[in-house]
Chain A
Amino acid sequence: MFEARLVQGNLLKKVVDAVKDLVTDANFDCSSSGFTLQAMDNSHVSLVSLSLRSDGFEHFRCDRNMSMGMSLGNLAKILKCAGNDDIVTMKAADDGDTVTFMFESPKEDRVSDFELKLMDIDSEHLGIPDTDYAATVTLPAAEYQRICRDLSSIGDTVVISATKDGVKFSSSGDVGTANITVRQNTTADKKEEQVSIDLKEPVALTFALRYLNSFAKATPLASHVSLSMARDLPVMVDYQISDMGHLRFYLAPKIED
């Protein structure tokens, strides 16, 4: 039996909204340590990795490891029916073919439940090694979203280069070129405006903006996002979900033909 109660139910809604355009169907894996998802987008260019630790739930019970295949579009439709402040409880039997979502209003005057049909999804699980990144920039999530959006009107790809002077995002296309540089700013008045750069060695990589833009759909989940880069390796775009875990996206760099 699997049962998980999440007081901040809208967090689940935000997670699903962040990945549903990238991944159509995915397996959610439940174990005593938590609720996780790992999935590649349809074209196998990027990887999504979600981890919600069991201790972040008000109640969490998972008697045996299980994998629940869901259509993220259908899951999003169901979660849309939850009120913003509702408590969400997920329930599934060990051998069932459905998962139930129960929504409770904070005043306890409205309770609803929605059953979602599970699906069999073939998916290979990838091992993501701990990487010694050459550079990590942590910037406001809204700033990352803006950079990706602004550069998308100029070109299809972005070169992200991290040097001691800052992290530069460059794009070019028919319109012309654009460069946006963010510099370390750990003394900003507001904590949510701070930018920090951890640079071990300079690194520059090229990425498809379409995917970086799609990752920015996770903006409502966290105040900040970290981009970690190492030569010839996928960038890790990491949104920390407070007290619970993370939603990470990995995107393979573009390389010369």
Chain B
Amino acid sequence: MKQRDISSFFGKA
């Protein structure tokens, strides 16, 4: 299974 980078779920503040 793959693990996405957490930052790809949240936009830049």
Contact = CB atoms under 8 A, between A and B. Distances in A.
Given A126-B11, A127-B11, A127-B12, A40 B6 contact: yes
Interface string B1-13: 1111111111111
Interface string A31-66: 000000000100011110000000000000000000
Interface string A104-139: 000000000000000000001111110000000000
Contacts of B13: 125-127
Interface residues of A, number: 24
Nearest to B1: A254
Nearest to A206: B1
Given A125-B12, A126-B12, A126-B13, A257 B7 contact: no
Contact of B6 (A45, A125, A127, A255): A45
Contacts of B5: 44-45, 252
B10 to A, nearest CB: 4
Contacts of A140: none
B3 A234 contact: no
Nearest to A38: B13
B10 A256 contact: no
A251 B7 CA distance: 10
Contacts of A125: 12-13
A73 B9 CA distance: 28
A105 B12 CA distance: 42
A44 B13 CA distance: 17
A250 B6 contact: yes
B5 to A, nearest CB: 5
28 contacts: A40-B7, A44-B7, A45-B3, A45-B5, A47-B6, A47-B10, A125-B12, A126-B10, A126-B12, A127-B10, A127-B12, A127-B13, A128-B10, A129-B10, A129-B11, A206-B1, A208-B3, A233-B9, A250-B9, A251-B6, A252-B3, A252-B6, A254-B1, A254-B3, A255-B1, A256-B2, A257-B1, A257-B2
Interface of A: 40, 44-47, 124-129, 157, 206, 208, 233-234, 250-257
